Amino acid sequence: MKQPIIKVDNVSKEFAVGDKKIRIIKEVSLDVFPGEFVMIYGPSGCGKSTFLSIMNGWIAPTIGTVTVKGEDLYKKTEDDRSRMKQHEISLMNQSSDWVKSLSVIDNICMPYLLAGKFKSAARKRAMTLLQMLHLERYAFYRPMDLSGGQQQRISFLRSLINNPEIIMADEPTGNLDTSSTAVIMELFSKINHDLGRTIIMVTHNMDLLRNASKSVNIIDGRIVSVNENKDFEMNEKIEAKDVLEIGFKNIVKDTSEEEEEERERSKVG
């Protein structure tokens, strides 16, 4: 029988606020299988980000278990859990969490350096990633000097640098226009479809749910429905290939190409 890559079993989470305890996640269970593209949606404040953080090892549940690749995530030592976060699961956060004093390329390098790798190798990998999305010219900008869409693409690249098996993303298309959203979605779909990487994404954009293998609706801390998409083509085989080996260039145009076209159009006009 197929084994889930992530299994959430009867998880609840309480936070202490003053002298009260507030239950934010309530008896939630979910199976995520290798190669799935899961989307989580629900109203603001319903617990989506908290749930994602519980699944990726940042917030321990008050009760219940999270099993990743057959191992209880919160029974691991702190060190082993950190190693898993560095090597197997990556997270693209809801708000941009840049080290503001560092350049774009060094921000992308961070997870790789934290995993104990050398700076020269990190820089090389980060530059290859930037080239994949035609963003190399921004390597030495500060992330905050880029547009929202560019920052999301950089954040996407940073989440790939350690070649993770599971990629989690919290509203990666929040605040983006339709065309930037389409680009980000294509990038995730390609990683999912071509390399069999498992993706779990939080979104408030209902139009995106058709890209998912499974849509999970959370309301007030509970999963109220899970819809399987029968048309979804699942790649269950995790390809050993490095994410750096796949091509994105047909998805994202070189900005200079766009500028060229814009100039041509204005000439015609």
Q: Decide: is 201 part of the binding site for ligand ATP (CB under 6 A).
A: no
Would you call 7 helix, strand, or coil by DSSP?
Answer: strand
> Quick one: which segment of 39-47, 105-113, 115-123, 237-245 binds ligand ATP (CB under 6 A)?
39-47
Q: What are the helix and strand counts (H, E) for the chain? A: 7, 10
What residue 161 binds from ligand ATP, Mg ion, none (CB within 5 to 8 A, per partner kind)?
none
What residue 180 binds from ligand ATP, Mg ion, none (CB within 5 to 8 A, per partner kind)?
none
Q: Decide: is 15 part of the binding site for ligand ATP (CB under 6 A).
A: yes
Q: Decide: is 50 part of the binding site for Mg ion (CB under 5 A).
A: no
> Quick one: which segment of 4-12, 38-46, 182-190, 232-240 binds ligand ATP (CB under 6 A)?
38-46
In this chain, which of 1, 2, 44, 266 binds ligand ATP, going by CB under 6 A?
44
Phi, psi dihedral angles at 262 (to 5 degrees):
-60, -45
Decide whether 48 or 153 has the Cβ nearer to ligand ATP: 48
Nearest distance, CB of residue 59 and ligand ATP, angstroms: 8
> Quick one: which segment of 43-51, 78-86, 137-145, 180-188 binds ligand ATP (CB under 6 A)?
43-51
Would you call 130 helix, strand, or coil by DSSP?
Answer: helix
What residue 130 binds from ligand ATP, Mg ion, none (CB within 5 to 8 A, per partner kind)?
none
Nearest distance, CB of residue 73 and Mg ion, angstroms: 20
Q: Decide: is 268 part of the binding site for ligand ATP (CB under 6 A).
A: no
Q: Two tokens at 120?
A: 């020269």
Phi, psi dihedral angles at 166 (to 5 degrees):
-120, 130
Q: Decide: is 49 part of the binding site for Mg ion (CB under 5 A).
A: yes
Judge contact between 170 and 91, C-beta under 8 A: yes
Q: Decide: is 211 part of the binding site for ligand ATP (CB under 6 A).
A: no
Decide whether 18 or 269 has the Cβ nearer to ligand ATP: 18
In this chain, which of 3, 10, 45, 264 binds ligand ATP, going by CB under 6 A?
45
| Listed residue (95, 132, 127) closest to 112, CA to CA | 127
For residue 125, give every residue at least 6 positions away whose Cβ sits within 8 Å of its Cβ, in sequence order, or none: 109, 112, 161, 244
Judged on CB neighbours under 10 Å (0-12, 13-18, 19+), 90 is buried
- Looking only at the bridges linking them, the beta strands covering 214-219 and 222-228 are antiparallel
Number of residue whose CB is nearest Mg ion: 49
Would you call 198 helix, strand, or coil by DSSP?
Answer: strand
For residue 77, give every residue at least 6 positions away whose Cβ sits within 8 Å of its Cβ, in sequence order, or none: none
- Of 48-77, binders to ligand ATP (CB under 6 A) are 48-50
DSSP string, 134-150: T-GGGTTS-GGGS-HHH
Rule CB under 5 A: which residues touch Mg ion?
48-49, 94
